[in-house]
């Protein structure tokens, strides 16, 4: 089923993690739907053209449930959470199909509303300011560790209703999950175990004393006609944590890096913000997601009946991976796709996915992204990279793509 005629670009190597876009351009052109062996040894179809990618994401013949993988032994840990073998936390939105997906998504949407997110804006601003205050006087920082990493984890903890005194534990567990992302599995399994035990206890306590946080909202939503079990609430909290954390770290990290390495676009944005106009920020966040989005590949899908994608025959049980980062640079869909244009119009990128699994947290991610970039550019107007871009290391997991560190300098704030 492979493509013997085509010389293979070196996928998933160190160079690839640093700049995957030339390899993606090659795949789009020569092997747009390609049977590929992944670093884990599992084989899957990689879908790289925009039109195929969009159709594939919305195709009901592709299941999200790993039981449909032709090789069930390989189906474990497919969501990037090794150590979780069919355990309760895995029964979450990204691993299930309708009608269960429809029911759970409807219930969580009742609690996780755009209004709740909008009301949360002052809190995100406060968090961003507090984090910048911590390093502002020094004139230098690693923006990943000191800003992009803590902001989303504290934000989601606040939203869920994790008490302030426990949030540093969460930050540590989240750190274990990210640090061990592509490496030793033990750390991730340990972190997941701790999070599971903590959430079970917290949900139990909230049930006895409901507040106006998201966990209480989820519990309330379940008290009506349709029941959310305690496990389902825990799995939902967990998917919100893990789907909303590293993604947002990378939006802030990749986005800031793109601005610092595109001085004209950065100046344009900074001028607009100075003039009190944030319309460029609104289109700009979408463009940063398209140009170098946090999610390189959408999560796994499995064919439940034979189908054809881009002329290739996909058999029942075959895993299919949609390469969002490749689709979003497709010249068939985007004019000058390799150019960063913060004012880009008609920018229907796939950075948040498409179809029924479209990112549930997009309003929160946008809020965090906008707040983070505005705060950095207005409070530290001369922000600049303190390393040669060639020296920066990227964390190239299979699903996510982001910087390990982002050293910057700026005039210290007194
Ligand atoms: C789903 C991207 C932030 C919660 C998705 C998907 C993508 C995505 C591509 C679809 C995956 C697929 O179809 O396989 C992003 C990006 C983010 C971000 C780029 C940041 C810039 C967040 C945040 C949250 C969140 C902040 C919540 C706190 C979710 C959930 C799903 C999801 C729960 C599963 C939805 C479903 O299956 O119905 N996200 N996400 N995401 N995202 Fe996000």
Looking from the CA of residue 152, the nearest atom of ligand 1 is 26
Looking from the CA of residue 251, the nearest atom of ligand 1 is 21
CA of 353 to the centre of ligand 1 (A): 8
Looking from the CA of residue 299, the nearest atom of ligand 1 is 14
pLDDT at residue 10 in the model: 81
pLDDT at residue 182 in the model: 42
Work out the widest C-alpha separation in the chain, in whole angstroms: 64
Residue-by-residue DSSP string for 33-75: EEEEE-TTS-EEEEE-SHHHHHHHHT-TTEE--GGGSSSGGG-
CA of 345 to the centre of ligand 1 (A): 23
Burial class (CB in 10 A: 0-12, 13-18, 19+), 32: buried
Question: What is the helix (H) or strand (E) element at residue 106, kind and residue range?
Answer: helix 100-111
Looking from the CA of residue 294, the nearest atom of ligand 1 is 19
pLDDT at residue 149 in the model: 94
CA of 256 to the centre of ligand 1 (A): 20
Enter the tokens of residue 127.
């968090």
Enter the tokens of residue 14.
């160190």
pLDDT at residue 70 in the model: 85
pLDDT at residue 359 in the model: 96
CATH topology for 14-409 is Cytochrome p450 (1.10.630)
- Global pTM reads 0.93
Residue-by-residue DSSP string for 327-366: HTT-TTTSSSTTS--TT-SS----TT--GGGS-TTHHHHH
User: Any residues with Cβ below 6 Å from ligand 1, and which?
Assistant: 57, 93-94, 105, 156, 239-240, 243-244, 247-248, 251, 289, 293-295, 298-299, 351-353, 357, 359-361, 364-365
pLDDT at residue 111 in the model: 81
- The secondary structure of residue 277, as a DSSP letter, is -
CB 121, CB 371: distance < 8 Å:
yes
Q: How far apart are CA 68 and CA 81, in angstroms?
A: 18
pLDDT at residue 410 in the model: 98
CB 243, CB 112: distance < 8 Å:
no
pLDDT per residue as tens, the chain (414 positions): 444 455 677 888 878 888 999 999 999 999 999 999 988 889 999 999 999 999 999 999 999 998 999 887 665 555 444 444 445 677 789 999 999 899 889 888 888 889 989 999 999 999 999 999 999 999 999 999 999 999 999 999 999 999 999 999 988 888 887 765 444 456 778 888 888 899 999 999 998 999 989 999 888 876 556 667 778 888 889 889 888 898 999 999 999 999 999 999 999 999 999 999 999 999 999 999 999 999 999 999 999 999 999 999 999 999 999 999 999 999 999 999 999 999 999 999 999 999 999 999 999 999 999 999 999 999 999 999 999 999 999 986 678 899 999 999 999 987
CA of 28 to the centre of ligand 1 (A): 24
- The secondary structure of residue 148, as a DSSP letter, is I
Nearest protein CA to atom 38 of ligand 1, as residue: 357
CA of 394 to the centre of ligand 1 (A): 21
Looking from the CA of residue 298, the nearest atom of ligand 1 is 14
CB 49, CB 32: distance < 8 Å:
yes
Model ipTM value: 0.99
Nearest protein CA to atom 11 of ligand 1, as residue: 298
Rg (CA), the chain: 21
Looking from the CA of residue 289, the nearest atom of ligand 1 is 19
Looking from the CA of residue 236, the nearest atom of ligand 1 is 33
pLDDT at residue 110 in the model: 83
Mutate to test the pocket of ligand 1, among 103, 359, 370 (most ligand atoms within 8 A of CB): 359
Q: Which of 347, 52, 374 is nearest to 339 (CA)?
A: 347
CA of 362 to the centre of ligand 1 (A): 7
CA of 234 to the centre of ligand 1 (A): 17
Cα-to-chain-centroid distance, residue 140: 27
Mutate to test the pocket of ligand 1, among 256, 358, 361, 398 (most ligand atoms within 8 A of CB): 361
Nearest protein CA to atom 2 of ligand 1, as residue: 352
Apex 399 CA angle, 291 and 107, nearest 5: 95
């Amino acid at each position: 089923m492979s493509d013997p005629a085509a010389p293979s670009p070196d996928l998933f190597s160190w160079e690839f993690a640093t700049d995957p876009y030339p390899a993606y351009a090659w795949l789009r052109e020569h092997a747009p739907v390609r049977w590929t062996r992944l670093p884990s040894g599992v084989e899957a179809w990689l879908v790289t053209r925009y039109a195929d990618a969009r159709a594939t994401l919305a195709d009901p013949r592709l299941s999200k449930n790993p039981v449909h993988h032709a090789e069930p032994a390989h189906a474990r840990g497919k969501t990037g959470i090794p150590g979780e073998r069919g355990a309760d936390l895995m029964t979450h939105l990204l691993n299930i199909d309708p009608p269960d997906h429809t029911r759970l998504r409807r219930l969580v949407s009742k609690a996780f509303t755009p209004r709740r997110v909008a009301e949360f804006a002052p809190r995100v601003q406060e968090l961003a300011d507090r984090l910048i205050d911590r390093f502002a006087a020094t004139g230098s920082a690693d923006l990943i560790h000191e800003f992009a990493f803590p902001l989303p984890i504290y934000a989601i903890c606040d939203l869920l209703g994790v008490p302030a005194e426990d949030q540093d534990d969460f930050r540590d567990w989240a750190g274990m999950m990210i640090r061990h992302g592509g490496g030793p599995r033990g750390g991730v399994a340990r972190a997941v175990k701790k999070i599971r035990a903590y959430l079970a206890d917290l949900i139990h306590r909230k049930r006895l004393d409901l507040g106006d946080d998201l966990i209480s909202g989820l519990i309330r939503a379940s008290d009506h006609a349709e029941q959310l079990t305690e496990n389902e609430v825990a799995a939902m909290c967990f998917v919100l944590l893990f789907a909303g954390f590293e993604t947002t770290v990378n939006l802030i990290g990749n986005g800031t890096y793109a601005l610092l390495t595109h001085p004209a676009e950065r100046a344009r944005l900074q001028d607009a913000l100075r003039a009190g106009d944030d319309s460029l920020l609104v289109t700009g966040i979408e463009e940063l997601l398209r140009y170098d989005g946090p999610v390189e590949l959408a999560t796994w899908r499995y064919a439940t009946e034979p189908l054809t994608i881009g002329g290739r025959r996909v058999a029942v049980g075959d895993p299919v991976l949609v390469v969002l980062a490749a689709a979003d640079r497709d010249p068939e869909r985007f004019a000058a796709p390799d150019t960063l244009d913060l004012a880009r119009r008609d920018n229907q990128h796939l950075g948040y996915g498409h179809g029924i699994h479209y990112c549930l947290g997009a309003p929160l991610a946008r809020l965090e992204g906008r707040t983070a970039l505005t705060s950095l550019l207005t409070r530290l107007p001369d922000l600049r990279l303190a390393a040669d871009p060639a020296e920066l290391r990227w964390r190239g997991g299979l699903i996510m793509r982001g910087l390990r560190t982002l050293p910057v300098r700026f005039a210290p704030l007194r």
